Amino acid sequence: MKRIVLAALASSLVAASALAAEPTYLDNRSDAASLIRSLYNAVNRQEYSRAWDYFGDTKPAKDYEAFVKGYENTTEVQVVTGEASAEGVAGSTYFSIPAAILARKKDGSEAVFGGCYTARLVNPQLQEQTFTGLRIEKGDLKPSDKPLGEALPASCGDGPAPTPKDAVLEQARNAFAATHSTQCTSLAPGQPDDAIKPEEHTISFHPAGSAENDPEQKARLFRFFCLAGAYNEIHVYYLADETNGVRELHFATPELDIHYEGGNSEGKVEAINIIGYRSENQLINSSYDDATKTITSHGKWRGVGDASSDGTWLFRNGDFTLVQYDVDASYDGEINPESIVDYNTAP
């Protein structure tokens, strides 16, 4: 007898990827916000000489050794930036950049800071043989008791009014970042802003208990990429509507007790028993289909795909319900799933 706990597929993938994750090298001085992100990318990669070089004549510490020592207990820093403003003064352009950071320490504690950076670019046409690119002039960040996204100032100095934000989307993004930052490589320090840009769908529906002639409501479904392994990719879903606001979706998933002939998992499958149900907040190789209003998943148990589990969750009355679950438990080189849950008919 072999008990298959399918959550282990996602958990092992998360753990392996998280351990192996290293921030991708980012050195972008083409705009002020990218400069700030590059600074903390260097810090997270412990490339302190590069981080030091992003500052101009006014350095953030009395010397390089003090600057490095300031990060000796820091394991990583997450940074978010806002919309920069620019002002030309005496042959230079000065940029004011809203920024907020979340610093994690070796003891597990976290601290959030918010404020503004100032960067300066001397007019390249006025420079001679030695060129100096965009550099940080100063930073003024203060401790904040708010979450990272809320600690970000709307603007800095006389900067322009911020571009109106999609409040629902921002709430979903912030919830995803707060809940999955230690698991998802898409949230690792140094990732570009669009790494957590979700796939979005709008779903029209009638809530449970409403009459047929009542107006339809609309829900917004967000699918966030979390991480990818050799043959499985993990996503996290959020749903937003008038009644429940923004919430992370959890999916009913059967827990299986699988019996193999002779107790050998490579042998013939004798029985697949459902021994309960779990609530999963991550799906493997999943997608949403607008035509059928379903989310489907396909978790491969090994690379060749001859053993797998497939779920289908149907959207009705404002929520997703498990309506079908197929399992191919035989490692026989063939794709031959069987349905162990089948309610795949909408009322």
Out of 103-112, 154-163, 249-258, 273-282, pick the least confident.
Answer: 154-163
Mean pLDDT for 244-264 is 94
Average model confidence (pLDDT) across the chain: 88
CA distance 187 to 177: 7
Task: Write the pLDDT tens digit of every residue in 143-176.
Answer: 999 999 899 998 887 655 555 678 899 899 989 9
Express each pLDDT in 111-137 by its tens digit: 999 999 999 998 888 888 888 889 999
Alpha-carbon span 326 to 315, nearest angstrom:
18
Residues 6 or more apart in contact with residue 103 via CB below 8 angstroms: 74, 76, 77, 110, 111, 112, 113
221 phi, psi to nearest 5 deg: -110, 130
What's the confidence (pLDDT) of residue 132? 86
Find out whether 21 and 185 touch, Cβ atoms under 8 Å: yes
pTM of the full structure: 0.60
For residue 179, give the H/E element and its range: helix 167-180
DSSP secondary structure letters along 33-51: HHHHHHHHHHHHTT-HHHH
Q: Domain residues of the chain, as ranges?
A: 2-12+197-342, 24-159
pLDDT at 347 over 80: no
Q: Domain 24-159, what architecture?
A: Roll (3.10)
